[in-house]
Structure 1
Amino acid sequence: MWMGTQSVGECSSSTSLSSQQDVEDDGMIAVILSEEYAKVDGAVARRLSNLAPVPHVPRINSYIPNFSDASLDHQRLLQRLNVYGLYEVKVSGDGNCQFRALSDQIYKSPEYHKHVRKEIVQQLKDYRASYEGYVPMKYKRYYKKMAKSGEWGDHVTLQAAADKFVAKICLLTSFRDTCFIEIMPQCQTPKRELWLSFWSEVHYNSLYEIRDAPTQPTPRRKHWLF
């Protein structure tokens, strides 16, 4: 890697400060956008009002399906989206997809995923007793891992997101026997609803009614995206 006239230490420090500034800038912009989009539209909820949600159990990622199973699951998810007249805003499959999808629902842009991740990790740190029982590893190691960009979110981070943003998070899934999962804040009445698609344990996207679908650039695709 070309380092110019800087030493490795100087470059690392500069990169760290730049990254921190990016997160702080995202946070400030996100607060403004959050106020603008705080009111829940509820259009997606009305379309799926006849679905009975499956109770949510927070858990970390443990199983990734093989290519064949993932392909079948993807077709099942597409069929469900068509049945309910829903549109996916596809976010990048770069390991940050859960946080990007949540960012798109909250701030109408996936680009504030760093801020969303930071807020969720802070929730994990501040309310350890609420989540530690679901994590089968040293808890500090878990939330430090989750603080890293590119680390896949799981159902524990989804619960932390529901609690942090006081939101009901609704997942339309690709699972054969579990079409709809609902994640409620543990201690508060939700003030908003966030709708995500969840494909085969490996990818999240943001959901809208087709008529409300925003225009989005096509993200780069990873090997498990079609």
Structure 2
Amino acid sequence: FYLPTFGYFAFTMFFLAGIGVLRVLWLPLLDLSPNVLRLGEIVYLPCMAFGFLLIPASCVIMVIGLTVFTLSVFTWLYSKFKGLEIADFWLYKYSRHPQYLGFLVWSYGLMLLASYVNAERAGHVPAPSFPWLISALAIVGVALHEEQTMIRKHGDKYKKYMEKTPFVIPLPKKLSTIITAPARMAIKKNWPENTKQTLSVLLIYFCILVLSSLPLQYFMKL
């Protein structure tokens, strides 16, 4: 019964701590319209089938995220202990950034849990989808920057690793090709090679996701 309320509290405190303090910058947008923070509603699309199982499903998602994150940390530490330049085994065989993947999955489950709070009991509840979307894009940006650093440091060795291993989320190659098509068309490359290209890619997907959220925002009110 209190789990969604706890989830909302944890989500709020999480985004008000550390890097998440940036959430303060968009809270004043609520004065313009409460719907501003609903511009990330597209992130709910994968979980709409859960229905009344949303609370247990969000808890399972959080556990999976924490598990992936923990195992990937141990994998990374083991690779450092072995003196390997590139961790390309265990979880790193399926994702080049499994720690970020684990964090995204965990925070997504927390976001789902926070979104289930009853507004009548908790007062005005800002939608958590837009803050999560911004945070997710920021993490993707950090991962892309790390890729550029690894390429400069390890050259073709890391490029070969990139060719055989998914970026963050292990997706079928055809689906990944479709998702990354806007970025490839914009920068004329498979991956951004500098900060300017990285910011351009993030802006493109930000616009796509926000625009996709507009019709979904309407239907979720019905």
Tell me the TM-score normalised to structure 1 length. 0.29
Tell me the TM-score normalised to structure 2 length. 0.29
Could you say which structure has the higher strand fraction?
1
Could you say which structure has the higher helix fraction?
2
